[in-house]
Amino acid sequence: MYLVALEEHLLIQALRALLPADGQSCPPHLALAARNDIVAIAQDLLSSEALPAFLRYADELALHLQGETRVMFPPLPRAASESGTPAEACAEAYLLEGSGALWAAIRQVATLLPFRDDRRPHGNGRVIAFGAFNKGGLLGIHKHTTSHQAVCTLLNAAVRAISAQQCWTTLVLTYNNHTTPHYDKGNSEVVPSLLIGLTHHDSGEVWIEQPGGTHYQLIDGTMVAGDLHHTSACGLLFSGAKQCHATCQWSGTRITLIAYTIRCHDLLLKGVTAAMASADAVPPGNGIPSSSMLPPRHNYFRRQGVDSLVKVLGQDERYPPVLKDNRPVPLWLRLENNIIEKPEELFNELREKMKGRRRPPQGAVLICEVYREENGCGAGHCINCRPGSWCPVLHLTYIKNQGQSGRNIPNEASGWRDRQAEERFWTIGRPHATVARPTTAPTAAMGPTGVPGKPPPPKQDFPIGAMPPAMQEPRGEPCVKSPPIRKPTVKVPPPGFGGQTSAPIVPPPAVAPNISDQVSTSPDSQAVPALSMPSSPPKTSAAALKAPPSAPQPQMLAKALLMVRDLLVISCCAS
């Protein structure tokens, strides 16, 4: 990625330098042009005197930029399909090629994506998102994710190539999107966001709030200091949730790729599955991470799920959580608008069970119920807290306000068909080992000569709405290790610009490669399962081939015929 982007950047700078000051300006699509396209544009714009100098520079530049520009692409996350969007078809073609220029691949795919208008009040442009989302406490998967698995695979490979230590749950691409000063409230406050500029646009910096900065933005009537950071064919690492940021004006086409982690991603993809599973299998202290708020409202929690969740909380000594000022506060657990039957009866049962897990003082409240706004409790305080003595474990808020019992329940929320398989598809991280399902042996079709043919392949059963393997990203402890730092904020060099050349192409192996041999297998990187290949048929030993023939006996002849039949069956299956 480094050499390809660098060559484009230098050619564009040379083209602009050779253009007359009062002549024709560069077209906007030059920001997305590849090497050969830049040369073609130069032939149209430059004069007969300037063009030979540009062509000589382009040839000399190609000789001086030494290094491999082709890298191995990850395998397709699924079988290629004829239907789909143009972007998905383009991404499939690149992945099936096996290797190529990753920088050129993601830029071409980005131009074909079905962008939509940014509906956020601070946005003015077009965007598209893949992966998980968190909007107002509602957690889910963006609708374009399952239909763009090949696109996600390419984009994930690009993020890993730039920052192998980055953790992310979501990918967002912006197209000519200008934003006013804002905070990304749905982003994690622990894991920084990685912004990658995919175009060679002019200006278009990101203003980021920074005390002592030299550039100012007017925010709510106050001038706020900050710094400007380039985004043209380079990367930027910052905290979108903690630092106010905005986009500056630019010229040309501007496309950016942002990889970030949503807020409360562990609740959606690890904590909820752990709570719905048997609580006995979740050791105390290794369940849900300590947090002051758990918002699974407007979901499909049943009595069993709530009971398991509260049981895990009761066994974990980290609850009630402690705020930054060393003040304990009950966990704010919102369960309204679920499908909990008899919520009042459940609340009484939970209080009695909690008494068996904790040893509170006489008269202490273990579970504080919040049933109206004027109850006196809030997300950061509780009327039943006794500083230095006792604090309730959790706030159970608005549990009596449940949704309609007859509403339609999605298939993925109706129950666990296979618990381990469900957790595998709804987990951000390295895929678990495939769970073997008890199936009946398929009937083998008869071959043309009466020999049993190859049995049909087993049909794969994926849960509806499950997260595709292309978006199963690293989980575990958030990684805060950053690429090379350039104060006062952390920057990443242009895509792949880390002083490292691309991995050289290796000849295709005889069997399907395991992606873990090509990509880092650290906990922060994705390990895609390799394609399974049929085993080779057994070979006859050399001694058996050289043995002298002997008179066949009837029993030996029968055994020999059976062996020949078995070898034919194995050969047919292997082919």
Verdict on whether the full-model pTM lies above 0.75:
no
**CA gap 139, 216 in Å, rounded:** 35
Cα dihedral angle (289, 290, 291, 294), rounded to 10 degrees?
60
Q: How high is the pLDDT of residue 370? A: 78
pLDDT tens profile 18-28: 988 767 788 88
Which residues, 6 or more positions from 371, have their beta carbon under 8 angstroms from its beta carbon? 397, 398, 400
Residue 255 has pLDDT above 90, yes or no: yes
Pairing verdict, β 71-72 and 116-117:
unpaired
More confident: 463 or 425:
425
Length of the chain in residues, anyone? 575
Angle, helices 86-97 vs 102-111, to 10°: value is 160
459-483 mean pLDDT? 36
pLDDT of residue 308: 79
- Asked which of 261-275, 474-488, 557-571 is least confident by mean pLDDT, the reply is 474-488
DSSP count for the chain of H helices, then E strands? 13, 21
- For helices 149-162 and 102-111, the axis angle rounded to 10 degrees is 140
Nearest partner of 368 among 331, 342, 340, judged by Cα: 331
- Residue limits of CATH 2.60.120 in the chain: 72-261+429-437+461-531
Mean pLDDT value of segment 305-311: 81
Q: Which two tokens stand for residue 489?
A: 């904020």
pLDDT in the model for residue 406? 57
The most confident of 107-121, 456-470, 474-488, by mean pLDDT: 107-121
- Residue 483 carries which side chain, given as an amino acid letter? P
DSSP letter for each residue of 185-221? TTB-SSSPEEEEE-S--EE-PEEEE-TT-SEEEEETT
Across 280-305, average pLDDT? 52
Of these ranges, 112-116, 416-420, 437-441, the one predicted with the greatest mean pLDDT is: 112-116
Write out the two tokens for 133. 């989302």
Between residues 461 and 132, which one has the greater pLDDT? Answer: 132
Q: Running DSSP on this structure, what letter comes out for residue 28? A: G
Measured between alpha carbons, how far is 106 from 154 in angstroms, rounded to an integer? 7
pLDDT at position 295, please?
A: 57
Q: Which CATH number fits domain 72-261+429-437+461-531: 3.40.50, 1.10.3470, 2.60.120, 2.30.30?
A: 2.60.120
Q: Is residue 162 exposed (0-12), middle (13-18) or buried (19+ Cβ within 10 Å)?
A: buried
Helix or strand run (H / E) with residue 91: helix 86-97
Dihedral through CA 85, CA 86, CA 87, CA 92, nearest 10? 90
pLDDT for 268 equals 64
- Cβ-Cβ contacts under 8 Å for 220 (sequence gap 6 or more): none
Q: Is the pLDDT of residue 373 over 80?
A: no
Determine the pLDDT at residue 404. 63
The bridge status of strand 394-397 relative to strand 367-370 is parallel
Q: How many CA atoms lie within 13 A of 117 on its CB side?
A: 3
pLDDT 10s digits, 514-557: 323 333 333 333 333 333 333 333 333 333 333 444 444 445 54
pLDDT band at 351 (very low <50, low <70, confident <90, very high): confident
Q: Are 309 and 303 in contact (CB under 8 A)?
A: no
8 A C-beta contact, residue 248 and residue 230:
no
pLDDT in tens, 148-190: 989 999 999 999 999 888 889 899 999 999 999 999 988 988 8
Does 280 or 564 have the greater pLDDT score? 564
Asked if 1 contacts 103 with a C-beta cutoff of 8 angstroms, the reply is yes
Q: What is the model's pLDDT at position 259?
A: 95
Residue with tokens 């849960």: 463
Gap between the Cα atoms of 512 and 259, Å rounded: 29
| Mean pLDDT score, 479-494 | 36
205 vs 378: which has the higher pLDDT: 205
DSSP 535-554: PPPPPPPHHHHHSPP-PPPH
Residue 429 in this model has a pLDDT that exceeds 60: no
Task: Say yes or no to pLDDT of 368 above 60.
Answer: yes
**How confident is residue 288, by pLDDT bands cut at 50, 70 and 90?**
very low
State yes or no: cis peptide before 431, omega within 30 of 0.
no
